[in-house]
């Protein structure tokens, strides 16, 4: 990369960016003074076609500086409108009362912009450390959700309500004291149920038998953070499960439901025979009894096509359950679903016709 300060001109040798750019001395002086945490007013670094789709007065806006190199700033845009699809970790408030701006705004943290020097208009303010710290936590969450990877160089610590990753598993910190954090296992599920907590469109289930105690100075990758209400719900579920002495599950079993036991083994519920529930053990590829339902947590519901895929190879290896498996295969196959629909329709027509005849005879 070559830079000519005297003429205010530079261009890159990168194959993807050969544009020659010009900037004035004020822009370069502002750029040299910038540090992570500063807020600048700059033109949006978009193509001319994309800029035409944006209202002219909004084509320049505040940006939060997260990082810079020799010729570019990497930052997050600020908007006065909070987009409804953003998760709680994908934005951070920029308060008018604190930073003396025209109105309250929000930094959108789900993607960053690469801003050249000549797009800088002016310096606005510098965020307080507390705001930078909270933004850093949210950016680390974004990174774990495969979003923006540009963040501050600030070390953060875990706290009450945090969900972190250890050995590929999620854990929720539900309690803390002066030296330790206490956490239990949590995991994302597809469908909400009585033993799960909804947060930002995610559904979290829990395995209260898998617990951890960690020192407060230990740090693991931050995935999400429960607010007070969500943490209260999780704690209420934990106490309810602890009080429960019944072997009855706190959820309703449905065919094709994928479940997780206390040892992180996965099962698919298939059928019930003589009041005993049977499931497919996904590791052993065998049909097994489900003894204590309160030890299982539902993860997701399989669609009919996927359930058919699991049932088909079992038919030839399980003579004992051929009748039940044959029924499952018939009902989950395309042909079987058509037969079930025709049978239901026939029964409905027969029942309607029978009622009609009864009325005629009565008359």
Bridge partners (DSSP) listed for residue 216? none
Kindly report, residue by residue over 249-299, the tens digit of the pLDDT.
Answer: 556 788 888 887 767 788 888 888 888 888 888 888 888 888 777 677 777
Residue 337 to residue 192: CA distance in whole angstroms: 26
Query: Hey, what are 309's tokens?
Result: 């895929």
Kindly report, residue by residue over 27-71, the tens digit of the pLDDT.
Answer: 999 999 999 999 999 998 887 778 777 777 778 889 999 999 988
| Backbone region of residue 153 per phi and psi (left: phi > 0; alpha: psi in -120 to 50; beta: other values) | beta
Q: Terminal CA-to-CA distance of the chain, rounded, Å?
A: 98
Q: Contact 91/73 with Cβ under 8 angstroms?
A: no
Q: What is the pTM of this model?
A: 0.67
Kindly report, residue by residue over 92-151, the tens digit of the pLDDT.
Answer: 998 765 666 667 889 999 889 999 999 999 999 999 999 999 999 999 999 988 877 788
* Nearest Cα to Cα of residue 99 among 141, 68, 132, 75: 132
Kindly report, residue by residue over 4-38, the tens digit of the pLDDT.
Answer: 343 454 433 333 454 557 888 999 999 999 999 99
Residue 140 to residue 165: CA distance in whole angstroms: 12
* Residues whose CB is less than 8 angstroms from the CB of residue 162 and which lie 6 or more positions away in sequence, other chains included: 172, 173, 222, 224, 225, 226
Q: Is the pLDDT of residue 89 over 80?
A: yes
């Amino acid at each position: 990369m070559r830079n000519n300060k005297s003429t205010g001109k530079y261009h890159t040798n990168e194959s993807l960016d050969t544009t020659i750019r010009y900037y004035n001395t004020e822009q370069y002086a502002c750029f040299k003074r910038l540090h992570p945490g500063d807020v600048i007013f700059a033109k949006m670094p978009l193509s001319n076609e994309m800029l035409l789709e944006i209202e002219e007065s909004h084509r320049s806006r505040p940006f939060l500086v997260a990082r810079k190199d020799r010729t570019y700033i990497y930052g997050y845009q600020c908007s006065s409108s909070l987009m409804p699809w953003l998760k709680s970790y994908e934005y951070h408030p920029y308060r008018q009362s604190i930073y003396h701006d025209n109105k309250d705004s929000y930094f959108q943290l789900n993607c960053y912009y690469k801003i050249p020097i000549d797009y800088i208009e002016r310096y606005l303010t510098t965020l307080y450390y507390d705001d930078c710290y909270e933004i850093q936590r949210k950016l680390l969450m974004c990174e774990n959700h495969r979003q923006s990877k540009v963040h501050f160089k600030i070390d953060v610590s875990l706290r009450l309500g945090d969900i972190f990753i250890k050995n590929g598993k999620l854990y929720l910190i539900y309690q803390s004291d002066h030296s330790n954090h206490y956490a239990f296992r949590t995991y994302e599920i597809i469908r909400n149920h009585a033993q799960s907590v909804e947060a930002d469109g995610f559904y979290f289930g829990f395995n209260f038998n898998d617990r951890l105690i960690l020192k407060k100075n230990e740090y693991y990758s931050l995935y999400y953070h429960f607010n007070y209400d969500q943490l209260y719900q999780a704690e209420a579920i934990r106490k309810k499960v602890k009080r429960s002495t019944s072997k009855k599950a706190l959820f309703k079993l449905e065919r094709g439901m994928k479940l997780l036991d206390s040892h992180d083994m996965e099962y698919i519920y298939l059928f019930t025979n003589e009041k005993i529930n049977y499931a497919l053990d996904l590791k052993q590829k065998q049909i097994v009894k489900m003894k204590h339902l309160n030890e299982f947590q539902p993860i997701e519901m399989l669609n009919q096509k996927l359930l058919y895929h699991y049932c088909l190879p079992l038919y030839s290896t399980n003579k004992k359950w051929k009748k039940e498996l044959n029924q499952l295969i018939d009902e989950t196959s395309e042909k079987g679903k058509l037969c079930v629909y025709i049978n239901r329709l026939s029964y409905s027509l027969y029942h309607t016709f029978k009622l009609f005849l009864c009325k005629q005879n009565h008359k």
